[in-house]
A = this chain, B = another copy of it.
């Protein structure tokens, strides 16, 4: 919102497209910032409420809402000056609308048009999480006296979308993906990346944590936000990948990791994520496949 309201000079008299407009809140900010015409596209049921909200706030003349899938509809103009969209999903890419934003960009964005946001980065860091490990994973080793360890596999397979405390972070935080919205392609979203994390204290590494930042680099003062453990809470929280066995690390130890992310072939909404990790010297090797679904 700040990215729009503090940059009225960019929105003044422009034609704006909001991809997946939800309640229409970003459309209204764009209208308030002086846009000449705002088109909001929403395929979900919230479209009905968006209609009422736009009317209740007196923006009917400026904002046009369209109910449908971007790929199926006619937005009524050839080109737009600005595309705004809150397209990000959990782990940045899970059930995200980035593919729709790319489609809209290629079809509608004018030469020298702008994207809000226009850059997104995915980061990884290492955490200690003894409590969760005991309660939710090792728990299955002995459930009221019964061995249920086969459920552990299931618990480890699914990354956890949850909040981490800054105190749990054990290492530096490094980018594993950097998306330029102006140029990115669908193919780029299946990616792999090597990462190195340096431990800042002696502790157990129970999990890796992924989170993202987005940026609005065309703004007068660069604006962006982070969904990391040190930033303010967002509904995206963080995404936690538990290791089969913790890495026992000393201060200064280097973790060498490799991450591979692919849309699942059978169900392209799901993400298959493979993480290989261990200390740089070869100890504590871990390899695990995860599925975000």
Contact = CB atoms under 8 A, between A and B. Distances in A.
Interface of A: 1, 23, 25, 28-29, 49, 52-53, 56-57, 143-144, 146-151, 154
A84 to B, nearest CB: 15
A53 B147 contact: yes
Contact of A28 (B28, B49, B146): B146
12 contacts: A25-B144, A28-B146, A29-B144, A49-B150, A49-B154, A52-B150, A53-B146, A53-B148, A53-B151, A56-B148, A56-B149, A56-B150
Contacts of A144: 1, 25, 29
Contact of A150 (B25, B53, B149): B53
Nearest to A59: B146
A49 B147 CA distance: 11
A292 B151 CA distance: 30
Give 6 nearest A-B pairs by CB, closest first: A52-B150, A56-B147, A53-B148, A57-B146, A49-B150, A28-B146
A7 to B, nearest CB: 16
Contacts of A56: 147-150
A49 B53 CA distance: 48
Number of copies: 2
A143 B25 CA distance: 9
A11 to B, nearest CB: 16
Contacts of A151: 23, 49, 53
A154 B57 CA distance: 19
B49 A146 contact: no
A63 B52 CA distance: 57
B1 A148 contact: no
Given A25-B143, A28-B146, A57-B147, 17 more contacts: A23-B143, A23-B148, A23-B151, A25-B144, A25-B146, A25-B148, A29-B144, A49-B150, A49-B151, A53-B147, A53-B148, A53-B150, A53-B151, A56-B147, A56-B149, A56-B150, A57-B146
A245 B197 CA distance: 53
Nearest to A51: B150
A67 to B, nearest CB: 16
A56 B148 CA distance: 8
A152 to B, nearest CB: 10
Nearest to A48: B150
A143 B28 CA distance: 11
Nearest to A151: B49
A188 B100 CA distance: 48
A115 B53 CA distance: 52
Nearest to A28: B146
Contacts of A146: 25, 28, 53, 57
